[in-house]
Amino acid sequence: MAKSIDVSDLNIYYGDFLAVEGVNMTIRAKAVTAFIGPSGCGKSTFLRTLNRMHEVIPGARVEGKVVVSGQSLYDSSVDPVAVRRQIGMVFQRPNPFPTMSIYDNVIAGSKLNSKRLKKADADAIVEKSLRGANLWTEVKDRLSKPGMGLSGGQQQRLCIARAIAVEPDVLLMDEPCSALDPISTAAIEDLIQELKSEYTIVIVTHNMQQAARVSDDTGFFNLKATGEPGHLVEFNPTTKMFTNPDEESTEAYISGRFG
């Protein structure tokens, strides 16, 4: 089930270094939320705190709250592994498991979650996920071939299929199209539009047109100054953001006057 995310007063640290400061936002369920901003402003870092992937880096920690449908992710009783099972993630560069077939890649997460998986159930999950990622017709005849044999765009859709195979509540995407050509990018963007009927989607992008095309809400991150922590400048519906933003610096960034 798609869920909404409430973030309040979130500070993100690497050791003593405050990377992102004071983020407040509500990410709506079954909608696409995009984060834009210049490089190094902390938008990817923030995205990674939403499924606790942030803390795989030694010394990384957060203060503040991230609440997904009433459950605080950073409660001491919450297992980060369980969080990541509910909040899937797609990365900047396609990263299918190199030694696995297409089939095994899709089923990898489900195998972790339930050790005993009937062949028929596994087949059903693979087909459903690949269809969900608009990849089924392209690969259905070569499921046993390695995932690395696909094109970059297909690999990225394979990674999306792998992420949705475990039926997460939320799907995080960290610049999912930055390593892809325009046609593959268009395929992923179409896919995002379809996925939002079932999932809450959060996407980081460097491409403002992409944010304008795919998202319902947009957050603009920026640095106050070099060396200062990143922060959320503005968070608004995408249409408002791209026509009549509240902040002058948002307007400046979107119209290309800096960044």
Partner 1 sequence: MPRNKPVTSVGDTVFAGVARTAALAIMLALAGVFVFLFIEGFPGLSAPTDVYRPAEDFLSYVGPLVFGTIWAALVALIIAVPFAIGIALFISHYAPARLAVPIAYVIDLLAAVPSVVYGLWGGLALAQALKPVLVWLDTHLGFIPLFVGPASVTGRTMLTAAIVLAIMIVPIVTAISREIFAQTPRLHEEAAMALGATRWEMIRLAVFPYARSGVISAVMLGLGRALGETMAVAMVLSATQVVTLNLISDTNPATIASNIASNYKEASPDRQAVLIATGLVLFAVTFAVNFAARMVIARGERKIAR
Only one of the segments 25-33, 48-56, 66-74, 190-198 lies at the binding site for partner 1 (rule: CB under 8 A); that segment is 48-56
Of 113 and 243, which has the nearer Cβ to partner 1?
113
Q: Does 71 bind partner 1 (CB under 8 A)?
A: no
* Joined tokens for residue 102: 């297409």
What x-and-dash track marks residues 178-217 binding partner 1 by CB under 8 A? ----------------------------------------
Q: Does 126 bind partner 1 (CB under 8 A)?
A: no
Helix axes 102-113, 119-132, angle to 10 degrees: 110
Can you tell me which of 39, 70, 77, 81 binds partner 1, judged by CB under 8 A? 81
Q: Does 152 bind partner 1 (CB under 8 A)?
A: no
Whats the size of the chain, residue-wise? 259
Can you tell me which of 28, 85, 128, 213 binds partner 1, judged by CB under 8 A? 85
Can you tell me which of 37, 88, 229, 230 binds partner 1, judged by CB under 8 A? 88
Q: Does 89 bind partner 1 (CB under 8 A)?
A: yes
DSSP state, residue 3: -
DSSP state, residue 233: E
Q: Work out how close the CB of 84 gets to partner 1 at its nearest, in angstroms, rounded to a whole number.
A: 4
Q: Does 14 bind partner 1 (CB under 8 A)?
A: no
Among residues 2, 47, 3, 11, the alpha carbon closest in space to that of 203 is found at 47
Only one of the segments 61-69, 156-164, 201-209, 234-242 lies at the binding site for partner 1 (rule: CB under 8 A); that segment is 156-164
Q: Work out how close the CB of 227 gets to partner 1 at its nearest, in angstroms, rounded to a whole number.
A: 26
Q: Does 146 bind partner 1 (CB under 8 A)?
A: yes
Q: Work out how close the CB of 98 gets to partner 1 at its nearest, in angstroms, rounded to a whole number.
A: 7
CA angle 63, 68, 73 (to 5 degrees): 40
Can you tell me which of 159, 180, 191, 192 binds partner 1, judged by CB under 8 A? 159
C-alpha–C-alpha distance, residues 226 and 188, integer Å: 33
User: What secondary structure does DSSP assign to 18-56, as a single string?
Assistant: EEEEEEEEEEPTTSEEEEE-STTSSHHHHHHHTTT-GGG
Q: Does 166 bind partner 1 (CB under 8 A)?
A: yes
Evaluate whether 202 touches 50 at the Cβ level (below 8 Å).
yes
User: What secondary structure does DSSP assign to 206-229, as a single string?
Assistant: S-HHHHHHH-SEEEEEEESSTTSP
Classify each residue of 241-257 as buried b or exposed e, where b means 16 or more C-beta atoms within 10 Å of its C-beta: bbeebeeebbbebbeee
Only one of the segments 29-37, 38-46, 160-168, 249-257 lies at the binding site for partner 1 (rule: CB under 8 A); that segment is 160-168
User: What secondary structure does DSSP assign to 65-106, as a single string?
Assistant: EEEETTEETT-TT--HHHHHHHEEEE-SS----TTSBHHHHH
Q: Does 43 bind partner 1 (CB under 8 A)?
A: no
Residues that bind partner 1 (CB under 8 A): 51, 53, 56, 58, 81-82, 84-86, 88-89, 91, 93, 95-100, 108-109, 112-113, 145-146, 159, 162-163, 166
